[in-house]
Amino acid sequence: MKNSKAGLTSLQLYRDGLISDPAQDPEAYTVYKQEKEEILNWLSAARVIYIVSGKIPEMPECAKWYTKEQLVKIITEAFGNEKVINFR
C-alpha cells in the first residue's frame, strides 16, 4: 500500500469491517491482516500478564484505529465467545 490517501482510506475500510475482499486493495489488506495478528498476539500475552500481575499491558498502537466493536469481533472470530477483556 502506497502512502496515498486512497490507500489509507482502503485500510480504514478494512479496519471498520466495511470491506473484506483482499482483491480490492491487496497492500492495504496485507497491513490489515498484520494488524489483526499483532492485536491477537497482544491479547495472548496480555492474558498471561494479567493472571500473573493483575495488570493489563498497553494495547498495540495499531489498535487505536479500531472501534471496540471491531476489536471484539476480531477476538471472537479467533478465540470464540470467550470473555473479552474490557478494552477502553
CA distances for 4 relative to 14, 27, 56, 82, angstroms: 16, 12, 35, 38
Q: Is residue 84 part of a domain?
A: no
- Quick: pLDDT tens for 8-67: 689 999 999 999 999 999 999 999 999 999 999 999 999 899 999 999 999 999 999 999
CA separation for the pair 57, 13 (Å, rounded): 27
pLDDT at 2: 43
pLDDT at 88: 43
Q: Is residue 12 part of a domain?
A: yes
Question: What confidence category does residue 4 fall into, taking pLDDT thresholds of 50, 70 and 90?
Answer: very low
Q: Is residue 87 part of a domain?
A: no
Q: How many domains are contained in the chain?
A: 1
Full residue range of the structural domain in which residue 40 is found: 5-79
Q: Is residue 22 part of a domain?
A: yes
Count, in order, helices (H) and strands (E) of the chain.
3, 0
Q: Give me the mean pLDDT over the 64-87 stretch.
A: 80
CA separation for the pair 63, 70 (Å, rounded): 10
CA separation for the pair 83, 27 (Å, rounded): 32
